[in-house]
Every structure is written in structure tokens, then in C-alpha cells.
Chains A and B, each alone.
Chain A
Amino acid sequence: MARGDTPMTRWLLNGQEVENPTGMTIMEAAREHGVDIPDFCYHPGLSIAGNCRICMVESNRSPKPIIACSERIADGLEIKTDSDVAVEARNSVMEFQLINHPLDCPVCDKSGECILQDHSYTHGPDRSRFVEDKNIRHTKELGPTISIWGNRCIVCTRCVRFCDEISGTGELCVVERGDRAVVDVFPGIPIDNAMAGNTVDICPVGALISEDFKFEARVWNMDRRDSVCGGCARGCNIEVETLDGYVKRLLPRENLEVNDWWMCDHGRYGWRHLYSENRLTTARTANQELEDDSATSTLADFVSRAKKVAFLIDPFLTCEELSLIHGLSSSIPDSIVGGWLPPKGTAEQFPSGFTISSAKHPNRRGAEKIFGSKVFGKDGKDLLKALDSRKVSTLIAFCGGPAEEGPGSSWSEAIRKARKRIVFSVMDGDWLKGASLVVPATAPLEKEGTWINEDGRLQRARSCWKPGDEPFCPELVRLQQVQMACEIRTRCLSAAGVFRELAENIKAFSQHSHSDLGDGGLPLSRRRARVDSKGGTR
């Protein structure tokens, strides 16, 4: 039997004959048929440990129950996941897991997304037969961002395997034996690697705790939005969790094409500047603060009357925002466009293949698709020269990065040479002094739109702001309002609508739309176009 070229195995799952690719584990295969076998120690990204025993099922190959995470399907294998033997085995493990567990869910950060809690609800006893004293294990810091609450640890070793296999740093280990066993670090070697935060995510209980998130929010109160990290050109898929409109935590989201199940700590904790006291949230002219609405009209006023205009773009802007800037620049004769790039950071590659890019911005590739491949190269240099020789009278600059010093000293000095300068900036700073108009800008987590990562993958980022709750008008809207004031646009569109215009105007995007990007994005390629031209059916 074969599905395509894959050899298939026929086996019996709860009395039904089913078929899966040969070599699959029972757990993976059963899940394909909608039969969920519970797990603690199993994680698709890690090696099989087989130590928690919760996935035991009954088989016709062994008198004892077998573990579904490690045993593989075979022709004629008969598995029962809901027989008395399987249920009893699961219930046994649940009772054992809970006897020494403190059940301190009311004060545990994991509560609400805890696998032990979920399984306890489904498979656990409603009362304990354990009348003895519970064991006490250590609560201590394991590193600058992570601590262990040992009493909660179920010694599944997910975190230990993560450090051995994924980050390759090996800081974590299990110390002591029996029910004293608990996760620890070696003396003097804290867990301090750029992927460490993932250990907290994969901890099935609240044993590993992120110091950054500790006691910050109950997870069920937070709003979650799928988004993309803007910290580097990798574009890790993430979930942004907010409470009352404020970001509380970032979590990685599975995407095997980009980041597997992981994200780096630079991205994970790299959002604090959103709420920094130096964050720019109100618009101002050289001598007075402006209401948000009048900022837009002032801006429109500047643009409609401007001559010798230049645009300075950055690689944090979304393809949609860039498309709107493109629309504006095209409508102004002789306007020039150049881009600036933040300084290169360090790249890191981990044994699992996970990479952190040295390009600390999310959308260089997108800007190059829209404004041409030289926009950050020769065009940027030309713009710098034009500014130096005072050929630019109105400059519209964008600075979406987290740095308070803006695009850096050489650009800051050049920018001052423009007679009128309009600056969109995330952070306030000295370099903005004397600007004709300063407009608050959205930072990566606040943008609705698409970015193209370093591999050329087009992915959707979502704003952590609730619609209607924006503290100021995002560029996506403000730029459209300016276009309407300049009479080159009739109505204001959503990010998806602006993308549709982009797809019509720029060939590279013509095969895509927001809706078909799905949760995981797509490579920006012409492959689909070619298939279609041959009359393909896709």
C-alpha cells in the first residue's frame, strides 16, 4: 500500500482499520485519525524520552501497556486507546503525577495553559488517596531570565533535551534521584543562551518560570494574536499576548519553514521599548504639540505644497506602508527615495538549524521588491549626497526601530540639512530637535501588514492593538488619509485592501493576497504563476 511514494502501514486503532505512512509512531498516527493520546514528555521537536508514561495504550503485541510516543505502527498491530487497560494505565500515571504536585494552580503562572491541569481534568482522580507529606524540592534562579519551582516539576526532561538538542548549550540537567529528582544547572553555569526562553514554553507544568512574565497576568485574561517577530530578518512566527492593550508576553508559533517551534530571547523580550518613557506617542511641530488629527492634516499640507521632496524609508515598514509611500512618491514629480539600515548585529546558528539573523530588521527584502534592489544601497547614498548638498527641501523620514538615536549619526546630521523635515519615529530623541513635524510611528508589533523575511517568505504581522483602541493613528491609515488629501486616493482601505493594490501594481506580489498567506506565510515566488500559465488546476 502506498500514498504517493510513501509506503503505508495498515493497523487497527480502537477496532477500526486505518492506514498511515510506515515508520510513524502510534501517537502521531493516532492523532492523524483524530484520536488524541495525552502526552507530557513528548514534544515533536525533541527526541523521545518515554519517561512520563501517560501515553500508554493497550496493544496486541505485549501483555503490558506500551507507550505510544516511542513505539511505531506495524502491519497487524492492534491498539486500543480507550480500553480498561489503557484507561487504568493513564489514570495511574495521573495519580502518581499529582501526589507530590503542590496543586498551587491559583498562584502558578502556567495555570490555564498547563498540560498537567488539562490532563488532570480529563484523566485524573477527583480526590487524592495520598495522605502523606508532600516532597519539597528547590525553588531557585537557574539563570537571568528563568527560575525553577521544583515542587511543580514532573521531570519530563523536555527542557533538558531542549538545551542538549536544540540550543546545544546543555546547561540544564536532572539532579538527585527518585522523587527528589529535579531540574537544575551546574554550579556557576547558569542557563543563559539566546534560546533559553523556549524552555519555559515547553515546560508542561509551571516548573520553569519566566522572570519576565512572572505574576504579570493570568493567561486566560490575555488576548492573543498571531503575528511575526520584527526583531530580525528571520521573521519567527509568534503569538502576541496582551492584557488591556499592553503586550505581556511573546510566544513562538510553530512554523516548520521558518522557526520550528522556537524563537530567540532577543525577540521574546525585545518589546519593552514600546512602553518606554521615551516612546513618542504625540505629534508635534517645531514649537507645539498637536492633536493626532491635526497632525495628519498638517502632514497633508506639507506634502501637497512640497517641492524637491525626498523620502527616507526604513526596513521596519510593512509592504503595505511601503506601497503607500510608493504611491505618494510616484505622485510627486522628481521626488527621490532612499533607505537606511540599522547596524548589523551578530548572527547565531544553533545545532537544530535555528538561526538568528544579523540583519536586525524584518523587511529589507520587501522594500527592495517595491523600491528596487538599490534602495538601501546606491539610492541611499544618493539621498545622503542630495541632503549634504542641500538639494532636498522637504524630507519625509521613517524610523521604526527601537533605537532612541534614530537612524544613526551620519543620517541624523544629513537629515538636519533638509529645510523642512517630517519624521515618523517610534522613539523620541535629541536627533528629532528642530524637525518641522514629528509624527508618532508604529513599532513592529503594532503594525498590520506583511513582511518578507531573509528567505523571501511573505508573512503577515498583526497589530497588538485592538481596532479602535489605537493610541495614535497608525501609518497604514495616516498615509492613506494624506493620499486622500492629495486627491490620489478616494477611500481608506484595510491592510488587506492596500495589499491588493500592491499586488496589482507590483509584479512580485501579483500572485498573493492576505487571505492565501494563511498563518504561516508563503514564499514570494512566481511558481504559482507558472503553473497557472500552463493551465494548471491549482
Chain B
Amino acid sequence: MRFKKICTADIGKKNCHTLAFYKKQGGYKQAAKALKKWAPDDLIEEVKASNLRGRGGAGFPTGVKWAFVPKNSKKPKYLVVNADESEPGTFKDRLIMEKNPHILLEGIIICCKAVAIEHAYIYIRGEFVFATERLQQAIDEAYKAGILGDNCLRSGIKIDVTIHRGAGAYICGEETGMLTSLEGYRGEPKLKPPFPAVEGVFGCPTVVNNVETLANLPYILEVGAKAYRSIGPEKSPGPKLFCVSGHVEKPGTFELPMGIPLRTLIDKHAGGVWKGRKLKAVIPGGTSAHVLTAAECDVAMDIDSLAAAGTMLGSAGIIVMDDSTCMVDALLNVMRFYHHESCGQCTPCREGTGWLEKIVQRIAHGEGRMEDLELIHDVCDRMLGKTICALADAAAFPAQSIVTKFSDDFVAAIENGGSPAWKKRHLSTVGGGASHG
């Protein structure tokens, strides 16, 4: 099937965020069909058949996730839309919410019909002020037009949508951390089991889906699961938003079919490595992913291909680094982030993230020891798979892969008294630095 942009086709056109514009493009037709013609179970089967996989990072099959929600629960069920986009290098959900908010609302309606949900919360990153405004405008428009509310599109079905703003914590993008935060508590991930599908927000069955995942739903209903499956690789198909940042000529968000070669994405769509420099490293799926060296970049950008290459698609936040980058400084930046963002609940993550930052900082500042490289590995091993949520893993993956794949940079920083950038900065402040030490 011919590839068509579904989220970003009309971005840049005047009033593309309004209901009038969205309806002119055929918007809410699929929602109406879902509400009036589709049976809930058929909707779940259709989404299962489409092989749609979550766009938030873990890539879990969306239809399977919906099917986990108990059908005969006496408690209310909730949809919580994960709009707490905070993985470094990721800026796709923000684009949807700012420029095409109604596609998200249509996706929400389809999901709510499929799982018999009457109330959806959009947990949005606190820093996304403009996106919140745009989304609220869209929700207001939808209520006014009878698309949301007690009688959605005159189907007799009730669906309410409420925005909840986060307060700036990365951990609240983790699904259960988000749920505790939404409940009004300190944002800390919950022990699993029970999983959110059984006992989620306020102790009720809850579906947690990413913004982009939901935005795919109208298109799946429009073209059918079979056609959708044919876009990109069959096991992780569909149109996908790729966020390219870092040392490229044209950074930005690109909507392309799943499975596009990483090289094509960088060289053709993002304009190639900037300033005529050479590629050194790419983080393909947000900073939580293992890094790829330039030689490893001949890989297709889909969930399974990247997993086979030892990394992950994650949130599709692609960070490109040119050959002037010192990987010690790059890792220090990443480690500072995870140290700052660890919620502090589990011991290995609370202590490990801080320890890693301190070790890498010491290396970058010229006080590294050769045994530190082994120590970083060991600390990462001691964090991996030992915590409630995946934040510890997310810190350990880049640390292990960057230290392994770019050990030369680390050895150089240890032997030469620090990373080049730090030396330059430090030497200029101490005036020659001859007597320092």
C-alpha cells in the first residue's frame, strides 16, 4: 500500500489544528463508525490484526493490551493518554497535540468504544503549555460540537476527556508513575502485578496508551487492518514519527513508514550530518537506547530490526553525533539526566544513577582511573533488571554501550587529564593551567 502521512500531512496549513479543518479532511468519520457500527470486541480484534504496536517506547501490541482489561469489572474503566513526552530527543507527541489535536481525540473515542471506557485522562507534560492550550481548545470544540460528552456523535455513548498537567518529572512518563501522579501522589512507579489493565488509576482497570499510538487508530479503521499491516514490516507496521536532532543539517520530526533505513532518514530527510563532518554515533530511540556506532547505522528503523541490532526503537528520538563529539561528555550529559530524574524509590536506581554520574564526571574532569571503566560496567550490571520500573535500565543501557563502543574516548580522557571540551574550558579559566593539579 502506498504510504500516506496521517499525523503531519497538513501541518503548516492555516488553522490545521481546528475542528473545521479536521472535519474537512474527513475527520471523526472513523470515530462515528466506531461508535455506531463497530462492536467493541470487533474493534479490539481489528486493532490486534493491524499489529499496531505502542509508540511510547516499549512497543507492546495495542490490541493485546486492550484485551487484558477485564470485561465484567464492576469498577469504572479509564483511558490514560500518556502525553508526558519527556524522553530526551523526542518531540513527536507535542507536534500532534499542537498541530493536529483532533486526531488524538478521534483515537481516544475509538479506544474508549473498544474497551467501554467513559472517561479518558490526558496526562500531559507540564512544560507543554502551548500544546495544553491547543488540546484544551480542541476538547472544548469537540464538546460543543457534540463529539465528546454524554452523547458522543449522537451514539448514546458517553465519553469525557480531561487534561491533567504533570509537574515536570521524567518518571511520570513511566505508565504506573504517571498513574500515581494522576491520583495526586508523588510520582513513583507501582509494583506490578497488578498491571494497570486490571488495577490502574484509582484502583480501576486502566488502558495507558501513547498519543501517537491513539493517533494511528482512525487510519487503521479507514484502510483496514490488512492494508495497515502492509505499511512497513508486517510485525511492526504503520506510519511513524521519527524525531531527528543533534548534528544534522535539518533536524525535525519526519513521518515515514516503519522500517525506513536509518541512513536514509539521516542523509535524505534530515539533510545529512552537518558542517560536512562525519557521523560518529547515533542514539536511535531516545537516550534510554543503546548507542549505535557509525558502522552500525545500516539498520531499518522498526521495532524488531533495532532489537536485533542490540538497541531499540524506543520513542524514535534519534540523536545524531558527529565526529567532533567527545563521548565522555555525551555520556556525562545523559547520566546527569538520569541521576536528576531517578525518583529515588528503589535502591539500585536511586544510588546507581548518582554513582554513574559521579564516575563519568570524574573521568571527564581528568580524575578518571582505568578501573573506572570496569566499575561503570559493574554498577550498570547491578542496576539492570533489579528495580520496579525501567528507569535504571534506561540509565544503564547508554552507559554500558557508550563505554564499550567508544572506549577510546574514555581511555583518552583518563590518560590526557579530561575530556577535550573540559580541558579547554578549564585551562582557559585557570590561565594556562600549568600549576594546576
With A132-B358, A178-B342 known to touch, is A154 a contact of B386 (CB < 8 Å)?
Answer: no
Determine the chain A residues whose CB is within 8 A of the CB of B295 once the complex forms: none
Contact assessment for B362 and A132 in the assembled complex, using a CB-CB cutoff below 8 Å: yes
Chain A residues with CB below 8 A from B347, complex form: 51-54, 93, 96-97, 154
B-facing residues in A57-79 (Cβ within 8 Å) = 63-65, 67, 70
Which of B343, B351, B362 makes the CB contact (< 8 A) with A177? B343
Q: Is the interface of B mostly helix, strand, loop or mixed?
A: helix
Residues in chain B near residue A383, CB distance under 8 A: none
B1 close to chain A: CB less than 8 A: no
B388 interface contact, C-beta 8 A: yes
Q: Is B348 in contact with chain A by the CB < 8 A criterion?
A: yes
Residues of chain A within 8 A (CB-CB) of B388 are 50-51
A65 in contact with B344 given A96-B352, A179-B354 (CB within 8 Å): no
Compute how far the CA of A180 lies from the CA of B357 in the bound complex, rounded to whole angstroms.
Answer: 14
Query: Can you name the residue of chain B whose Cβ is closest to the Cβ of A65?
Result: B386
User: Is the beta-carbon distance between A179 and B353 smaller than 8 angstroms?
Assistant: yes
- A54: nearest chain-B partner, CB-CB: B347
CA–CA, A97 and B340, complex, Å: 18
Number of interface residues of B (CB under 8 A): 31
Query: Which residues of chain B are near A64, meaning CB under 8 Å?
Result: 385-386
Is residue B387 contacting chain A, with contact meaning CB distance below 8 A?
yes
Report the minimal beta-carbon distance from A165 to chain B, rounded to whole angstroms: 14
Bound complex: CA of A88 vs CA of B186, how far in Å?
31
A48 and chain B: residue at smallest CB distance: B191
Judging by beta carbons under 8 Å apart, are A178 and B386 in contact? no
Cα separation A391 to B382 with both chains bound (whole Å): 83
Partner of A176, one of B344, B348, B354, B359: B344
**A76-110 interface with B by 8 A CB criterion:** 88-89, 92-93, 95-97, 99-100
Selected from A54, A92, A100, A129, the residue in CB contact (under 8 A) with B354 is: A100
Partner pick for A132 among B171, B350, B355, CB 8 A cutoff = B355
| CB < 8 Å neighbour of A135 from B169, B191, B354 | B354
By a CB distance below 8 angstroms, the chain B residues around A213 are none
Residues of A within 8 A of B355 (CB): 96, 99, 130, 132
Complex alpha-carbon distance, A416 and B144, angstroms: 87
Distance A96 CA – B378 CA, assembled complex (angstroms): 12
Contact A93 B345 (CB under 8 A): no
Tell yes or no: B346 within 8 A of A by CB.
yes
* Complex: A171 Cα to B19 Cα, angstroms: 47
Per the bound structure, the CA–CA distance linking A44 and B355 in Å amounts to 32
Chain B window 327-345, contacts with chain A (Cβ cutoff 8 Å), 1 for yes, 0 for no = 0000000000001111111
Whether A180 contacts B348 in the complex (CB less than 8 A), given A56-B386, A64-B385, A100-B354, comes out as no
Q: Does A155 contact B (CB under 8 A)?
A: yes
Verify A179–B339 contact, CB threshold 8 A. yes
- Contact between A178 and B186, CB atoms less than 8 A apart: no
Partner of B348, one of A53, A154, A174: A53
B307 within 8 A of A: no
Q: Within the complex, what minimum Cβ distance (angstroms) separates B431 from chain A? A: 26
A173 located at the interface, meaning its Cβ lies under 8 Å from any Cβ of chain B in the complex:
yes
* A181 on the B face (CB < 8 A): yes
Chain A residue at minimal CB-CB distance from B359 = A132
Q: Give the Cβ gap from B345 to chain A, nearest Cβ, in Å.
A: 5
B362 surroundings in chain A (CB, below 8 A):
132
Residues of B within 8 A of A52 (CB): 346-347
A251 to B8, CA, bound (A): 66
Give the CA-CA distance A155 to B352 in the complex, in Å. 14
A130 to B359, CA, bound (A): 9
Q: Produce 1/0 per residue, B21-65, CB < 8 A to A.
A: 000000000000000000000000000000000000000000000
The answer to the question of B129 belonging to the interface, with a C-beta cut-off of 8 Å to chain A, is no
Contact B386 A100 (CB under 8 A): no
Chain B 345-380: CB-based contact to A (< 8 A → 1; otherwise 0): 111101111110011001000000000000100100
C-beta contact mask, B181-198 vs A, less than 8 Å → 1, else 0?
000001000010000000
B351 and A97 contact, CB distance less than 8 A: yes
Contacting pair A177 B341 (CB below 8 A): yes
Alpha-carbon gap, A92 to B382, bound state (A): 5
Q: Which of B340, B350, B362 has the most CB of A within 10 A?
A: B350
Least CB distance, A68 to chain B, in whole angstroms: 13
- Structural contact, B375 and A99, CB atoms closer than 8 A: no
- Bound CA span A51–B343, Å: 11
Q: Which residues of A contact B (CB under 8 A)?
A: 48, 50-54, 56, 63-65, 67, 70, 88-89, 92-93, 95-97, 99-100, 129-130, 132-133, 135, 154-155, 173-174, 176-181
20 extra interchain contacts, Cβ-Cβ under 8 A, other than A52-B347, A179-B342? A50-B191, A63-B385, A65-B385, A89-B386, A92-B348, A97-B351, A99-B351, A129-B378, A130-B355, A132-B359, A132-B362, A135-B354, A155-B344, A173-B186, A177-B340, A177-B342, A177-B343, A178-B339, A178-B353, A180-B344
Complex A-B: 8 CB contacts under 8 Å = A51-B345, A96-B347, A96-B355, A132-B355, A177-B340, A178-B350, A179-B339, A179-B344
